């Protein structure tokens, strides 16, 4: 994780490694500083896992760790855990774009880091290899750094409450959303296009109503500022209980006004990495929670 520094290598071994790196470069093996965002290299879905192909070459080695743990650690290797996606797959997929909505639906962001082809491949694997997930909701978000993953602009925090950044919607409130399902008696995908985030969530979650809580309260200035500091990247540790950065005081106040318990953590250093509390977690097992 921390890399291999040249000064840590015995002199006799350096002779064989000398031509691999320029003299001024301090590392023989580069560190992986982004690995503290554990959400991205892998994600658990139902009884299986995705071992992800990271989009950026600088992060691509990170999923080696989870691949090795799942296949060799005694807590996991005896269970034959299905891998719905593998780190050497052709298309990119990252855990920050993978959100579990319910036992039968997942949302995946079509983002700068996760490709539409990767989502289609994952959907086909899910439908073919397990029985519970019936719908994959592909949500297209702007492909810019501030909206890196779906969970930087949208998270589920209760059975019927969600945080989101209003800037992911067009001026008329519409978005490009696609519901992927398996065609009956076929291996093909059925894709239905939608344009409303709220109505799509109500449909796949079988809800009559739900609450979308805007980052920064929807104020153009506050929402832009707090979105940059991951105001929408909330980590739900129970329905209606979330962990957030303390600096996003406007968003935190709005959450509390909507009946959400907010646990604030210090953020002066953590936020520098451009990721929030959800980015820094990777659930392995989730309890079933009734309504």
Q: Could you list the beta-strand ranges (E) of 154-217.
A: 154-158, 161-164, 177-182, 189-194, 211-214
- Residue corresponding to tokens 């500091």: 229
Cα-based torsion angle of the residue sequence 227, 233, 239, 241 in order, rounded to the nearest 10 degrees: -80
CB atoms within 10 A of CB 200: 21
Q: How far apart are CA 264 and CA 100, in angstroms?
A: 23
CB atoms within 10 A of CB 176: 13
CA distances from 174 to 20, 209, 288 (A): 51, 18, 32
Per-residue tokens: 113: 């880091």
Q: How far apart are CA 276 and CA 223, in angstroms?
A: 15
- Residue 291 contacts by C-beta under 8 Å, 6 or more apart in sequence? 159
- Residue corresponding to tokens 């709005």: 254
The question of whether 279 is a catalytic residue gets the answer yes
Nearest CA to 44 out of 287, 285, 290 is that of 285
Active-site residue, selected from the candidate residues 142, 226, 279, 285: 279
Catalytic positions are 279
């Amino acid at each position: 994780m921390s890399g291999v520094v040249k000064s840590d290598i015995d002199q006799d071994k350096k002779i064989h490694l000398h031509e691999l790196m320029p003299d001024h470069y301090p590392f023989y093996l580069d560190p992986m500083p982004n690995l503290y965002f554990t959400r991205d290299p892998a994600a658990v879905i139902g009884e299986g896992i995705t071992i992800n192909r990271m989009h950026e070459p600088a992060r691509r080695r990170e999923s080696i760790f989870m691949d090795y743990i799942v296949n060799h650690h005694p807590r996991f290797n005896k269970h034959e855990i299905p891998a719905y996606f593998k780190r050497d797959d052709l298309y990119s997929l990252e855990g920050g774009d993978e959100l579990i909505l319910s036992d039968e639906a997942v949302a995946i962001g079509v983002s700068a880091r996760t490709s539409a082809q990767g989502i289609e491949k994952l959907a086909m694997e899910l439908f073919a290899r397990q029985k519970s997930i019936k719908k994959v909701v592909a949500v297209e978000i702007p492909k810019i750094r501030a909206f890196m993953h779906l969970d930087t602009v949208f998270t589920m925090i209760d059975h019927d409450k969600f945080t989101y950044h209003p800037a992911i919607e067009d001026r008329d409130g519409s978005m490009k959303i696609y519901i992927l399902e398996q065609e009956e008696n076929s291996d093909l995908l059925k894709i239905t296009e939608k344009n409303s985030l709220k109505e799509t969530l109500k449909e796949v979650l079988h809800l009559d109503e739900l609450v979308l809580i805007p980052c920064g309260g929807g104020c153009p200035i506050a929402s832009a500022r707090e979105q940059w500091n991951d105001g929408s990247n909330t980590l739900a540790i129970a329905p209606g209980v979330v962990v957030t950065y303390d600096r996003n005081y406007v968003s935190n106040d709005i959450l509390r006004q909507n009946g959400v318990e907010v646990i604030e953590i210090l953020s002066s250093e953590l936020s520098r990495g451009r990721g929030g509390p959800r980015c820094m977690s990777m659930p392995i097992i989730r309890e079933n929670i009734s309504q």
